[in-house]
Amino acid sequence: MPTPVKSVLPVVLLGCGGVGRYLLRHIVSCRPLHANQGVSIRVVGVADSSSLLVAEDVHSSGLDDALLTNLCAAKSAGSPLSSLLGQGKYQLFQNPEARSKVIDAATTLGRTTGLVLVDCSATYDTVSLMKDAVDHGCCIVLANKKPLTGAYEDFQKLVSNFRRIRFESTVGAGLPVIASVTRIIASGDPVSRIVGSLSGTLGYVMSELEDGKRFSEVVKTAKSLGYTEPDPRDDLGGMDVARKALILARLLGQQISMDNINVESLYPSELGPDKVSSKDFLESGLGHLDKGMEERVKAASSRGNVLRYVCEIESTGCQVGLKELPKDSALGRLRGSDNVVEIYSRCYESSPLVIQGAGAGNDTTAAGVLADIMDLQDLFQKTA
């Protein structure tokens, strides 16, 4: 006997590149699993940076799975959403109309069936859309860090109904960091400190340096392995880690912004993108940093410690940068590109709660987003 459908979750997805595309695939492939749990995810709209595909009748239908599968294939091949024209029952809108159509869906569904607006894009541009959606009673799920790391007022607005927002995949991809911190806070156990290595790239770099390799050599290898952004300075500058740290700090109730975080860059401003090309940085600039880094690694080692690029969130402030840590701590033991987070609280005082694992990748990030969507299902229960 099939399980009766208990919850129907209408979803509009913003951003269907890497993570968004994997999310759609996971939604389609999980249909039987979710049906067993009485849950149905109805994808009513999908937007990329220029267009929106939306179901003909957002109240009752969704984009069908064949179309979603074709959409994933098209995006994977680098084609725009508009290339799908004529392949199924839907409406296609181009910007700027697309944006207003998302608002229409949010207005219509937000206060009736409910709507989950999922942001898998990588821009700040979705913030105003999501703030409007919150006003219309919609739920929000983000893999995109930027809306949560802009103005504090935007963060405050987005989390104003805390049960209607999830953002696990903004920190450590699918690793249950946000969910665990949220549980600890809800149980009245005050979190006093979070320390984490939240960049797979910098985790890899620091553990290779420990083995005596040269900084320039390690960064180049990391780039050739696809661990870094096209310009490795995007990783080495620490801003991505700082965004994750800011999200964690705000989750702990700190009313701070990026300006309040001390971020140590692993390259000096003279070698910044405004002064030196990416090619020159890799071919000559990087080599100048080897000696300084080698000295720091050796100094740490002489004290029985290792260097890690970490974020530290405490009540006194929030830092991102290199830190000497005991070799036998969870962070000190870290090898390769795994993320690791240590959470200290009353219950985890002398020995922290540690969460470790792969903290990047489209598949894992999309899995975290889907778990977040499923976690909202009680808000979408069908009334008998």
Question: Which residue numbers belong to the known binding site?
Answer: 15-20, 145, 229
Minimum CB separation of residue 312 from its own copies in Å reads 18
Q: Which of 133, 177, 130 is nearest to 371 (CA)?
A: 177
Nearer to its own copies, 272 or 357 (CB): 357
Beta strands in 105-154 (DSSP E): 116-119, 139-142
State the pairing for strand pair 339-345/191-197: antiparallel
Binding site membership for L-homoserine: which residues? 229
Q: Is residue 286 classed as helix, strand or coil in its secondary structure?
A: helix
167, 141 contact by CB (below 8 A): yes
Check if 220 is active-site. no
Q: Which residue has the tokens 């740290």?
A: 245
330, 356 contact by CB (below 8 A): yes
Among 244, 279, 323, 382, the one annotated catalytic: 244
Q: Which residue has the tokens 């700090």?
A: 249
Interatomic CA distance for residues 215 and 194, integer angstroms: 27
Minimum CB separation of residue 358 from its own copies in Å reads 6
Nearer to its own copies, 150 or 357 (CB): 357
Half-sphere exposure of 330 (CA within 13 A, CB side): 19
157, 150 contact by CB (below 8 A): no
Nearer to its own copies, 48 or 372 (CB): 372
Cα–Cα distance list, 258 to 198, 205, 249, 254, 269 (Å) = 16, 24, 11, 12, 18
Q: Which residue has the tokens 């098209």?
A: 74
Nearer to its own copies, 224 or 351 (CB): 351
Binding site membership for NADPH: which residues? 145
Cα–Cα distance list, 336 to 219, 270, 298, 324 (Å) = 13, 29, 20, 18
Minimum CB separation of residue 295 from its own copies in Å reads 27
Interatomic CA distance for residues 201 and 240, integer angstroms: 11
Nearest-5° angle of CA 85, CA 91, CA 93? 85
Interatomic CA distance for residues 300 and 297, integer angstroms: 5
Q: Under the rule (CB under 8 A), what is the footprint of its own copies? A: 6, 26, 29-30, 33, 37, 162-163, 168, 174-176, 179-180, 183-184, 186-189, 328, 330, 333, 335-336, 338, 346-348, 351-358, 361, 363-364, 367-368, 370-371, 374-375, 377-379
Nearer to its own copies, 285 or 352 (CB): 352
Minimum CB separation of residue 22 from its own copies in Å reads 11
DSSP classification of residue 58: T
Minimum CB separation of residue 321 from its own copies in Å reads 25
Q: Which of 130, 160, 133 is nearest to 144 (CA)?
A: 130
Minimum CB separation of residue 271 from its own copies in Å reads 32
- 312: its two tokens: 């530290």
Nearer to its own copies, 267 or 380 (CB): 380
Nearer to its own copies, 7 or 121 (CB): 7
Residue type, 299: A
Minimum CB separation of residue 342 from its own copies in Å reads 9
DSSP classification of residue 44: E
Residue type, 207: S
User: Which residues does the annotation mark as catalytic?
Assistant: 244
